[in-house]
């Protein structure tokens, strides 16, 4: 069963932007944690894919106008959560997905302390809803 593990961030919380002001060794430890997690998932055969997204300031909202041409807007509600990145894993149980999410959650932050950030975990559909 495939699960997606989503790391979300608030625009106002500046959590994601804040990463740019971390001391270099804290940043290096964070990146090393994430790289090691991906390597371990690849080695255990549970890795499907992972992507990191650019900062919320690069997000655009698009919808089709009457003639089908794109209407773009860059204004989002203050309460909006932005996806920072995700992993897709293929695991036998939800508990295994939660355990992997906890590892990502514990990625080191400033001073090397675990961030313990929230990770949203949801099954992936293998086809459209019945």
Residues forming contacts to other proteins in the complex (CB under 8 A) are 4-6, 19-20, 27, 31, 49, 51-56, 58-65, 68-72, 77, 79-81, 83, 85, 88, 94-95, 98-99, 101-103, 105-106, 114, 116-125, 128-129
Q: How far is the CB of 6 from other proteins (least distance, A)?
A: 7
Q: How far is the CB of 45 from other proteins (least distance, A)?
A: 19
Residue (43 or 128) nearer to other proteins, CB: 128
Are the CB atoms for 100 and 5 separated by under 8 Å? yes
d(CA 8, CA 109): 16
3-state secondary structure of 2: strand
d(CA 41, CA 89): 8
Residue (79 or 92) nearer to other proteins, CB: 79
Q: Which helix (H) or strand (E) holds 71?
A: strand 70-73
Residue (43 or 78) nearer to other proteins, CB: 78
Instruction: For residue 12, give both structure tokens.
Output: 């106002």
């Amino acid at each position: 069963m495939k699960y997606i593990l989503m790391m979300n961030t608030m625009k106002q919380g500046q959590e994601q932007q804040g990463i740019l002001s971390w001391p270099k060794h804290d940043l290096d430890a964070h990146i090393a944690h994430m790289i090691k997690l991906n390597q371990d998932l690849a080695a255990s055969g549970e890795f499907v894919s992972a992507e990191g997204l650019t900062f919320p300031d690069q997000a655009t909202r698009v919808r089709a106008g009457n003639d089908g041409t794109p209407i773009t807007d860059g204004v989002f509600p203050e309460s909006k959560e932005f996806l920072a990145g995700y992993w897709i894993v293929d695991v036998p149980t939800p508990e295994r997905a939660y355990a992997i999410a906890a590892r990502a959650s514990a990625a080191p932050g400033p001073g090397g302390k675990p961030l313990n950030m929230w990770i949203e975990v949801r099954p992936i559909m293998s086809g459209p809803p019945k």
